[in-house]
Amino acid sequence: MPELPEAETIVRGIRPAVSQRQVERTQVLRPDILRVPTRTFANQVRGRTILTASRRGKNVIMEVHGGGVIAINLGMTGRVLTFPSPPRGRLRPTHPAVRLYFDDGSVLVFDDQRRFGTVEFLEADAWVHRSSNMGPEPLASTFSSRQLHAAMARSRSPVRSWLLDQKRIAGVGNIYAAEALFLAGVHPRRPARSVSEQEAKELYRELRRVLRKAIEAGGTTIRDYRNAAGEEGRYARRLHVYGRDGDACSACGSEIQRIVFSNRSAFFCPRCQPEHVSA
């Protein structure tokens, strides 16, 4: 999906537009985006006033007065777009799925070409429960490399799969997992528990760095991602390995490789990220 930096960019973009806005009306063009019947969703959301927008992992959260949240999972192609008034012309969303009409005449549109995304309303306790099943935020000040190392030490799973598991760490997807592993010099298929304390330290540092840099660049647009204003992210040209198989490694000149495991492509430099490390 849009991963953590893309969700963060969206949240920053919509925050001024949705804060203190009351949802006057909802319009569901694609009911499969919801997890409840359209009528139920309308009743859950209508009349609610948004406090602010925030992010948890890859999810865009709109907190409402009195507790509860509208949670948006962006899936692969989800966009959250805000407009001062109903959009028309060429700026119109291409695959609108859900619209929230606010009391000031502005509109929030969840647009999703492939419709893997979801929009749901969760009461406060349900949201707390949902969030508690997600791993720590990698950019949180309370998240440490020791914590990362200790958690990885318990898993035989390939480190790339480990990073993609939202229950283990929140917000990391295929792009930033690939980039962080490259920058840390760790082969994506190595068992998580084979990652040494020193390597975990590197991985921790590079993961946080790459996520921060990507946020600064407004995220990565491969094809579909757009921010709340419909603009592309600028991080794509900074990618070292993701989608760059066949290119020369920026560090050593070796050819970047693409392999597939767990049904996802993994990109790495065979020289900078040896699979088998000698002790």
Partner DNA sequence: AGTGTATCCTGCAGGC
Partner DNA sequence: TGCCTGCAGGATACAC
| C-alpha span between 152 and 155 (Å, rounded) | 5
Cβ-based nearer residue to DNA, 68 or 158: 158
Site for DNA in 57-76 (CB under 7 A): 57-58, 73, 75-76
Of 227, 223, 3, 234, the residue nearest 114 (C-alpha): 223
| C-alpha span between 256 and 247 (Å, rounded) | 6
Say if residues 165 and 155 touch (Cβ distance below 8 Å): no
Site for DNA contains 273 (CB under 7 A): no
Cβ-based nearer residue to DNA, 21 or 244: 244
Cβ-based nearer residue to DNA, 114 or 271: 114
Window 12-41: contact mask with DNA (x via CB under 7 A): --------------------x---------
Site for DNA in 137-156 (CB under 7 A): 155-156
Give me the active site residues, please. 2-3, 58, 264
Number of residues that bind DNA (CB under 7 A): 39
Say if residues 87 and 109 touch (Cβ distance below 8 Å): yes
Q: Is 247 exposed, middle or buried (0-12, 13-18, 19+ CB in 10 A)?
A: middle
Exposure string of 179-211, with b = 16+ CB inside 10 Å and e = fewer, is: bbbbbbbbbbbbebebbeeebbbbbbebbbebb
Among 131, 166, 194, 254, binds DNA (CB under 7 A): 166
Site for DNA in 197-236 (CB under 7 A): 220-225
- DSSP assigned state of 191: B
Site for DNA contains 88 (CB under 7 A): no
Cβ-based nearer residue to DNA, 101 or 235: 235
Give the contacts of 194 (CB within 8 A, at least 6 positions apart).
277
Q: Which residues bind DNA (CB under 7 A)?
A: 1-3, 6, 32, 57-58, 73, 75-77, 95, 113-116, 155-158, 161, 164, 166, 173-175, 192, 220-225, 260-265
